């Protein structure tokens, strides 16, 4: 599930309304990943863990991949 939402996060970064500098993108990514790991620590069911971790972590990782890709381009 995380692989699917990583692709979605990469696609989201291409919207002009949420395209930021690389430093802001890194800050959003680190904050989102930290909050997703924190929120997963309070989940007691496995399916909740898979959904929260897969969706949130995947989105923020995908969004974070765009900063180095944009620099290398």
Locate the domains of the chain by residue range.
2-66
User: Which whole number is the average pLDDT over 31-58?
Assistant: 89
Amino acid 31: pLDDT: 93
Q: What are phi and psi of 9, to 5 degrees?
A: -65, -35
pLDDT of residue 67: 75
Report pLDDT for 2: 64
What mean pLDDT do residues 67-73 have? 73
pLDDT of residue 16: 61
Cα separation, 7 vs 17, whole angstroms: 18
Task: Answer whether 56's CB lies under 8 Å from 3's CB.
Answer: no
Residue 53 DSSP code:
I
pLDDT above 90: residue 73: no
Q: What percent of the chain has pLDDT over 90?
A: 14
Q: What is the DSSP letter of 56?
A: I
């Amino acid at each position: 599930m995380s692989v699917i939402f990583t692709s979605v996060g990469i696609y989201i970064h291409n919207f002009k309304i949420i395209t930021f500098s690389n430093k802001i993108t890194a800050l959003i990514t680190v904050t989102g990943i930290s909050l997703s790991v924190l929120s997963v620590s309070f989940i007691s069911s496995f399916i909740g863990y898979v959904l929260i971790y897969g969706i949130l972590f995947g989105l923020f990782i995908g969004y974070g991949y765009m900063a180095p890709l944009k620099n290398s381009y």
